[in-house]
Amino acid sequence: ISSSCSEPISTRTLATASLGLDLVGGGSGSISLKSEDDGQSDDDQPDDEQSDDEVNSTAMRDHTKFNGGATTKAAVSPNHSSAPLRISSFKGKQIVREKKIDMRLQKKLERRRRKEEDKSHRVFAKKLKNRNHLNLSRKIVHAGFGLMFASLNHFLPREKFLPGMIIVSTGTLIMELLRYREGFGWMNDVLIYILGGSLRKHEMEGKFTGSFYYFLGVTITAASFPTTCATLGICQLALADPSASFFGRQTKDVYWSRIENGFFGIGRNKGFLGFLGGALFCLPFNYRVLSVAKFGGTKIIPGGQLNVAIASLALGVAGAFADLCVPTPALTMPKKILNVPMPPFHVDDNVVVPIFSGYACTKIFQYMGWTEGVDLARFFLL
């Protein structure tokens, strides 16, 4: 290349121009140099000349300024091999592996949930009967426990029976509060093993069993009234409650005897024939118990056998009436009070019947003039 300028073109300028052509055009053009110093060898170049790397770096900076700050990848000479761009699949494989682990964990949790559900109270509830069923086994168990507790109250001293019932009632309450929680499902297994089909469906669907209310009613009655009145009140719980329920179920199609909504809820979904049947069912038992009792330490009955019959019927009426007053379904406590969760307490006839009957017994004895005390026979009926 010849220049019209008086000054010769330096080697640095030509190298810069050559690299610029490569960057812009992408080619590998060459520029031949012709000067007066052609015969001079490379070793004779001035010491102030820069190396090839420095020249290339300078050319790159000039080209960057020329393109307004944008850089362009220079063409790579054939002598330098460049590795192809690779995209790693490690992250994708890791995601797939994590998904498989999650799926296995979900299946494991599902199997565990099904296994726990198979042993939970909900499975038991599917096998039990609701309150509309006659359930004779429940009524037999109810009467048996009632007569047993009445006998214990009669035989044992008050100082022993009452603390024992407090312990039983408290332990039952703790069981009821825990058996629906995780880790305490074995309590439901124990209840099913002991009581079996005598349980009701709702008692395995989040509600308390009647056992707690039964023990609580016996405890309060024994603590509130004299021994004889408390014993007779517990006997009404054992007999009047299941018999009224039995006759009420048997006469549920007699519409004129049914109480639909009751009086402010009292007696709702119950019937007068069930009430009458429960009162009459208790009459023979009460009459026999009072006939063999001692009045004031003697066998002489104030007022004779007529007073015994009246008192016996009145006791049966009291027990059946208490059962009649408890509505069906029972009145329950709100689930929350001031945003505080409440236990599923409700008004239960197992509490109302013995307390009301024990209280009625005290008033009946006063009305009959049996104020000197009534002592039941050692074995009730003998």
293 contacts 267 by C-beta, under 8 angstroms: no
**Quick one: DSSP state of residue 255?**
G
Averaged over 78-83, what is the pLDDT?
A: 49
Averaged over 142-166, what is the pLDDT?
A: 95
Assign 120 a pLDDT band (cuts: 50, 70, 90).
low
- Please tell me whether the peptide bond between 334 and the residue prior to it is cis, using omega within 30 degrees of 0: no
Residue 94, pLDDT score: 64
Residue 2, pLDDT score: 44
Alpha-carbon span 142 to 296, nearest angstrom: 33
Alpha-carbon span 325 to 199, nearest angstrom: 23
H helices, E strands: number in the chain: 12, 6
Q: 228-287 pLDDT, tens per residue?
A: 999 999 999 999 999 999 999 898 888 888 887 777 777 888 899 999 999 999 999 999
Q: What is the pTM for the complete model shown?
A: 0.68
The answer to whether residue 171 scores a pLDDT higher than 80 is yes
Assign 24 a pLDDT band (cuts: 50, 70, 90).
very low
Structure tokens at 57: 């770096």
Assign 68 a pLDDT band (cuts: 50, 70, 90).
very low
The answer to whether residue 142 scores a pLDDT higher than 60 is yes
Please give the share of the chain, as a percent, with pLDDT higher than 90: 39
Q: 42-64 pLDDT, tens per residue?
A: 444 444 444 555 545 554 555 44
User: What is the SS3 assignment for 68-86?
Assistant: CCCCCCCCCCCCCCCCCCC
The answer to whether residue 143 scores a pLDDT higher than 90 is yes
* Continuous segment of H or E residues that includes residue 337: strand 336-337
Alpha-carbon span 275 to 134, nearest angstrom: 16
Residue 203, pLDDT score: 84
Q: Which of 68, 71, 49, 51 is nearest to 60 (CA)?
A: 71
Q: 126-135 pLDDT, tens per residue?
A: 778 777 788 8
Higher pLDDT, 296 or 120: 296
